[in-house]
Chains A and B, each alone.
Chain A
């Protein structure tokens, strides 16, 4: 009976080591998708996408089995300057009327140890799909004070405006992602 109990506890803990599914907490806004572009080479211009959603699966024991997908509403661009936002969403850049959706779907996750992950995936932006690599870092996971369970990551990647066919090409755009998922 003692052994049976132990076996039960073991089997439950093993079952829970299957990758859990998380929904990115956009509802409580514990996630953000930011971009950064060099301004004249003298400073950084920062902006973000206010509307997006996504989900991921993650298991600390098997990080390479993780999967993540994110949908971004490109019409929600916000750089804290309406005239600039209008320009960035125009057909000079995002052409958000025609391409209101950008998506990222991971194709491969490599564990680099120490909570570091290399997330390779297909990024569709401006109607162009390219494989990109996000250098991600796990920030932490655990129970939250409201009876849920959360895991959070930060990630950075760099894309080039020309690669995604923007009419105006002012070089590289850095994407900084901060996602916190609520386990389902």
Chain B
């Protein structure tokens, strides 16, 4: 099935979910590592370039995903899910979307603070909006970092929840995303 049903996710939702999961975890790992690099490291220029390029692709996928979600059915929680599980899942999912948006925007603001465009894999460029507020690169940088750590915490909660449903509750919560 391409589309979602009341019961399960369709291929589009599944593909977007796992592709973005992979890219976001990779972006976080690369991001955390690249800021520790020495100036003379051969990766000093390449890792930020790939980080930014991939980030733009994730932003595009995020937009697609939100549109797809709005245009589609959402699988309903299983009848066996407790009220607190439903509430927690709902809050975590919403926050993951909010943080992803925040990370995309703050990342854009770091790199474009001086009017420079963001090159995406040397394929095309995202134009800059210039410096929108004072000390933009530093402030946006701090926000980008905090949001990224917050997102990874949420992703951890999200993954633990999925594993709990699969191995402890033995229900099909995880399976319908596979």
Contact = CB atoms under 8 A, between A and B. Distances in A.
A80 B38 CA distance: 21
A82 B39 contact: no
Interface residues of B, number: 15
Given A82-B114, A83-B110, A89 B39 contact: no
Contacts of A86: 110, 137-138, 141
Nearest to B141: A86
Pick from A75, A80, A81, A83 the residue with the most CB of B within 10 Å: A83
Contact of B111 (A75, A83, A89, A170): A83
Contacts of A168: 38-39
A85 interface: yes
Interface string A60-88: 00000000000000010000111101100
A89 B137 CA distance: 10
B38 A82 contact: no
A162 to B, nearest CB: 15
Contact of A85 (B39, B48, B137): B137
A85 B113 CA distance: 10
A109 to B, nearest CB: 35
B136 interface: yes
B118 to A, nearest CB: 11
A26 B93 CA distance: 52
Interface string B67-85: 0000000000000000000
A168 B131 CA distance: 28
Nearest to A76: B135
B164 interface: no
Interface string A79-123: 011110110010000001000000000000000000000000000
Given A82-B113, A82-B114, A83-B111, A89 B138 contact: yes
Contacts of B110: 82-83, 86
B116 interface: yes
A85 B110 CA distance: 11
B53 to A, nearest CB: 15
Interface of A: 75, 80-83, 85-86, 89, 96, 168, 170
Given A89-B138, A170-B39, 6 more contacts: A75-B138, A82-B113, A85-B138, A86-B110, A86-B138, A96-B138
30 contacts: A75-B135, A75-B138, A80-B114, A81-B114, A81-B116, A82-B110, A82-B111, A82-B112, A82-B113, A82-B114, A82-B116, A82-B131, A82-B136, A82-B137, A83-B48, A83-B110, A83-B111, A83-B113, A83-B137, A85-B137, A85-B138, A86-B110, A86-B137, A86-B138, A86-B141, A89-B138, A96-B138, A168-B38, A168-B39, A170-B39
